[in-house]
Structure 1
Amino acid sequence: MAETSRRVALVTGATGGIGKAMAETLASDGIDIVVTGREPLAVRRIATELRSRFGIKVYPIIVDLAEEGGPERLFMQVASRGIELDYLINNAGVGVFGTFEQSLLADEVAMLRLNVLAPTILCKLFLPQLARRRGRVMNVASVAAFQPGPFMAVYYASKAYVLSFTEALATEWEGRGVTFTTFCPGPTRSGFQARAVMEHSRLVRGKLLAEADEVGRAGVSAMMEGRRVAIPGLANRLTAIAVKWLPRRWVSRAVMKMSAPDSTPLPAEAGT
């Protein structure tokens, strides 16, 4: 049985990128970590690394949160170890790049299970113990949450859900002991682009992307401060503000131009 008097954080998608940086940041503060991922070797590798570097307890759990029943299996495995969480970080996520007519339905359903259903279910299941321990929750969305996203229509919509959902919970739990933070990074150097098959997108091709370590530390800091919405990077913050005041059609077309593959001809504006 775990020592529940120690602080414990669960980080989904902790084997690389922003999730790994968040796990390292928490571990450096003496917080025990439950690390999850779907690749056994990667999960065990990060668990060994965290134990060796920081001298904390690490609980590796291999689970695919995009599978039906995956979040419930994760919860049961955590419970079977006698662990109660102080921090829940729903970081695991994936993108599907391409026009909606060309993308595969199976890929988008799996993405919705991971990006939308998994954080919803995990918040529901872990909330009672987080309330007992006056815990903190971070749901990782994206700056994409603030606008529609042609070429990644379902991904952008999934992150809009995460933003709306988490802000609502923050209001419901205001002053009741649990804080909820929506973390909204912009494009970050990680494995996300390769998995989404979007390296040829104008959004990331040839761009200077933020480093995952810096972004991960910013996310943990925002969660610890209890901030409701945190957007790292001045350009990302300005984008989130600007889209509130521009016509939605303009915003959608601008995102399409920024996101399209280099060789893709774009449709002309109606009437031109």
Structure 2
Amino acid sequence: MTERVTLITGASAGIGTELARVFAANGHRLALTARRADRLDALASEIAAKGGKRPIVIACDLEEPGAGEKIAATLAAADVELDHLVNNAGFGVFGDAIECDRTQQLGIIDVNIRALTDLSLRFADQLVKNKGGILNVGSVAGFLPGPGMAVYYASKAYVISFTEALRGELGARGVRVTVLCPGPVATEFQGRAGFAPGIDSAVLDVSAADVALAAYRGLMANKRAVLPGLGIKIVPFLLRFFPRGFILAAVGRFQRRRR
């Protein structure tokens, strides 16, 4: 019988690392992918030392067009199939879109949108066969317009919409599909994006480990969306009461304070 694994992208740091720990602690065999092989190897050794089967490590950059093929070929060579897919990899760039590096911003689309879509579609047949699940990592940013991080916010709006649509299509086939929408979490994301954690992170104060645990439980319970922390849960509700123009201006003012 072909062994089943959970593929987690962006597993080398932050929420991705914590998701790997949670899935492993709950008995899942893992396949981990990210750019940094050394970190993946260290995480794989940690999981194995705690009694789990050593994860399959696939070092690759999801910005590269051939990343999906490389992942699929590695899994096929290991004679495994997916029963869960966790599309966690993602990044953003801080600053006005017309002033930020265009190549970097197109890279956001490659990782946050193209790779997530590729892997979701590429492995859908296996997930249906194995009655598994997809966890896509969005963001509360996906509910908002994002001056100051325009491409990132837009990419997360895509993730929310795409995940909900997949849920509608795959749910009847026995596949759980959940979107995780955390608020600001103190990880390496902020450093790569070009800003330091601010008062929003301090006020909302949900750790990467707590986010990962909530995400796992939400996926297993077949929730449509997981918004970790009370402060984040009320954001989509409150947005209904304000005009879009007001929200746009408010986000713009908030982002300018980061500079």
- Short-chain TM bin: over 0.9
Question: Tell me, which stretches of 5 or more residues in structure 2 are unaligned?
Answer: none
- How far 1:47 moved relative to its partner? 1.0
Asked if the contact 1:202–1:261 (Cα under 8 Å) also holds between the matched residues in 2, the reply is no
Paired with 1:149 and 1:124, the residues of 2 have a C-alpha distance of 28
1:56 aligns with 2:53: yes
SS of match in other structure, 1:34:
strand
- How far 1:4 moved relative to its partner? 2.7
Asked if the contact 1:27–1:54 (Cα under 8 Å) also holds between the matched residues in 2, the reply is no
Between Structure 1 and Structure 2, how many residues are aligned?
Answer: 259
1:123 aligns with 2:85: no
Match of 1:105? Answer: 102
Which structure has the bigger radius of gyration? 1
1:250 aligns with 2:236: no
- How far 1:108 moved relative to its partner? 0.4
SS of match in other structure, 1:175:
helix
Q: TM-score, normalised by structure 1?
A: 0.91
Q: 2:214 aligns with which of 214, 218, 229?
A: 218
SS of match in other structure, 2:246:
helix
1:134 aligns with 2:116: no
Asked if the contact 1:201–1:259 (Cα under 8 Å) also holds between the matched residues in 2, the reply is no
Paired with 2:143 and 2:174, the residues of 1 have a C-alpha distance of 28
Paired with 2:78 and 2:235, the residues of 1 have a C-alpha distance of 43
Residue by residue over 1:110-148, the C-alpha shift from the partner in whole angstroms, topping out at 9 and shown as x without a partner, is 111000001100011101111110010000000001010
Q: 2:235 aligns with which of 228, 236, 239?
A: 239
Q: Runs of 4+ in structure 1 displaced over 4 angstroms?
A: 200-204
Q: TM-score, normalised by structure 2?
A: 0.95
- How far 1:253 moved relative to its partner? 1.1
- How far 1:208 moved relative to its partner? 5.8
- How far 1:207 moved relative to its partner? 5.3
Residue by residue over 1:24-54, the C-alpha shift from the partner in whole angstroms, topping out at 9 and shown as x without a partner, is 0111112111011101211111111111123
Question: Tell me, which stretches of 5 or more residues in structure 1 are unaligned?
Answer: 264-272
Paired with 1:145 and 1:30, the residues of 2 have a C-alpha distance of 31
Match of 2:205? Answer: 209
Paired with 1:208 and 1:164, the residues of 2 have a C-alpha distance of 24
Asked if the contact 2:171–2:177 (Cα under 8 Å) also holds between the matched residues in 1, the reply is no
- How far 1:239 moved relative to its partner? 1.0
Paired with 1:262 and 1:48, the residues of 2 have a C-alpha distance of 38
Residue by residue over 1:9-30, the C-alpha shift from the partner in whole angstroms, topping out at 9 and shown as x without a partner, is 1110111111111110111112
Match of 1:176? Answer: 173
- How far 1:202 moved relative to its partner? 6.3
Paired with 1:199 and 1:164, the residues of 2 have a C-alpha distance of 28
1:199 aligns with 2:168: no
Paired with 1:262 and 1:131, the residues of 2 have a C-alpha distance of 44
Hey, which of these two has a bigger chunk of helix by percent?
Answer: 2
Q: For residue 156 of structure 1, what is the amino acid of its counterpart?
A: Y
In the superposition, relative to structure 1, how do residues 200 and 27 fare at CA in structure 2: closer, same or farther (>3 Å)?
Answer: closer
Q: For residue 23 of structure 1, what is the amino acid of its counterpart?
A: A
Asked if the contact 1:200–1:261 (Cα under 8 Å) also holds between the matched residues in 2, the reply is no
Paired with 2:190 and 2:147, the residues of 1 have a C-alpha distance of 16
